[in-house]
């Protein structure tokens, strides 16, 4: 019954739409809505098929049977066709330098086509990076969140110092809330720090690849910082035990070991692509091959850490609660500049690896041969 042809009709009393098959025509049924008897009408007559023989004959030359003419491509202002050669950058190296014979073995012409912004690794205005689009917003938001956390910690520590069970409980609540805010802020900030590190290592002066709105895709990116930091602290504690036997101050080994090992482990994690594999032979080999770059990075990073620490310490000691917001802004700026310097170091190491003769020979061996050479 379901596969038979049906036609619609209406109940003359309640106008309910019903369906029947052609062999049910003439039968009497009861309307399911008004319960009145209905006689099923005959199926509607179908229109007669058109007689194609009566149509006038059209001569063949009326139709154009040639191939269609290809329409011209639509040119959108601001975009170029894929068949056109890429536009030449105004900052690119002149053609005379590109076509010149290489001065050293292993340095190809593609390495000399890098624009000036990519070739400059350590120059420029480092503080101007904080005012780039996207970076400034990240700086202000992280400074505001850190100020709220420090304010809650200070208020909680003062309440705990009072010998009263009620203020002690309230102080512990403040500290717990500050801890939750710190964890939430770190989860949100870590993907933005990785974006700064990745884009800087790729040679970008401005950061463009910020995290998208799909939060569940990058909520666990903070583990790339947690694993190297935890491992650096553990190794620093071992160094602290060795220095303690020599009479060194406490926590000196932890601070020194963390400062020296954290960037190595973080770059190793990013090079291997796994947060649980903090060991990369190319990164460790670069400590010897590119020791001037590493020395410059550690020197610059030590200045950033020392200045931010001194300003924060004396600002909180002299201004008290009024110095929380300026100190938070200094600490947030130091974190962003540290990640920027680490990205510059990674970019320098990647460029040195690309210019190495072994890497150049390997790239030439893996490159496809031209058609005339294959024969």
Higher pLDDT, 284 or 92: 284
Per-domain residue ranges of the chain = 122-216+290-355, 222-278
Q: Compute the Cα dihedral for 160, 161, 164, 167 and give only its sign.
A: negative
pLDDT in tens, 296-343: 999 999 999 999 999 888 888 887 778 888 899 999 999 999 999 999
- Residue-by-residue DSSP string for 128-161: GGGGSTTHHHHHHHHHHHHHHHHHHHHHHHHHHH
pLDDT in tens, 174-221: 999 999 999 998 888 898 999 999 888 888 888 888 887 666 667 788
- The DSSP call for residue 21 is -
From residue 210, give the alpha-carbon distance in Å to each of 144, 238, 271, 333: 20, 37, 20, 18
Distance of alpha carbon 288 from alpha carbon 285, whole angstroms: 6
Neighbours of 176 (CB within 10 A): 12
pLDDT in tens, 232-273: 889 888 888 888 777 777 778 788 888 999 999 999 988 888
Give residue 109's pLDDT: 35
């Amino acid at each position: 019954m379901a596969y038979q042809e049906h036609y619609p009709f209406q109940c003359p009393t309640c106008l309910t739409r019903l369906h029947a098959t052609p062999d049910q025509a003439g039968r009497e049924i009861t309307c399911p809505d008004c319960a009145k008897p209905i006689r099923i009408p005959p199926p509607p007559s179908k229109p007669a098929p058109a007689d194609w023989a009566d149509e006038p004959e059209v001569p063949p030359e009326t139709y154009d049977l040639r191939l269609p003419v290809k329409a011209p491509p639509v040119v959108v202002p601001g975009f170029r066709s894929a068949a056109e050669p890429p536009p030449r950058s105004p900052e690119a190296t002149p053609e005379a330098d590109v076509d010149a014979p290489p001065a050293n073995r292993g340095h190809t012409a593609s390495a000399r086509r890098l624009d000036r912004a990519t070739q400059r690794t350590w120059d420029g205005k480092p503080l101007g990076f904080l005012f780039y689009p996207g970076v400034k917003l990240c700086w202000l938001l992280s400074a505001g969140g850190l100020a709220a956390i420090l304010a809650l910690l200070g208020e909680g520590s003062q309440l705990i110092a009072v010998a009263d069970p009620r203020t002690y409980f309230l102080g512990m609540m403040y500290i717990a809330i500050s801890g939750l805010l710190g964890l939430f802020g770190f989860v949100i900030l870590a993907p933005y720090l990785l974006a700064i590190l990745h884009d800087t290592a790729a040679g970008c002066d401005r950061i463009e690849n910020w995290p998208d709105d799909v939060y569940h895709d990058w909520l666990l990116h903070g583990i790339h910082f947690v694993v190297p930091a935890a491992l650096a602290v553990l190794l620093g504690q071992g160094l602290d035990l060795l220095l303690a036997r020599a009479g060194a101050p406490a926590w000196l080994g932890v601070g020194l070991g963390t400062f020296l090992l954290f960037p190595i482990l973080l770059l190793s994690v990013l090079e291997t692509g796994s947060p649980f594999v903090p060991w990369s032979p190319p990164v460790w080999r670069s400590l010897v091959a590119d020791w001037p770059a590493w020395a410059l990075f550690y020197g610059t990073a030590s200045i950033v850490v020392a200045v931010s620490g001194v300003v924060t310490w004396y600002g909180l000691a002299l201004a008290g609660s009024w110095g929380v917001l300026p100190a938070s802004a200094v600490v947030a700026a130091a974190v962003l500049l540290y990640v920027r310097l680490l990205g510059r170091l990674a970019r320098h190491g990647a460029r040195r690896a690309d210019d190495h003769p072994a890497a150049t020979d390997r790239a030439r061996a893996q490159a496809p041969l031209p058609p005339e050479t294959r024969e």
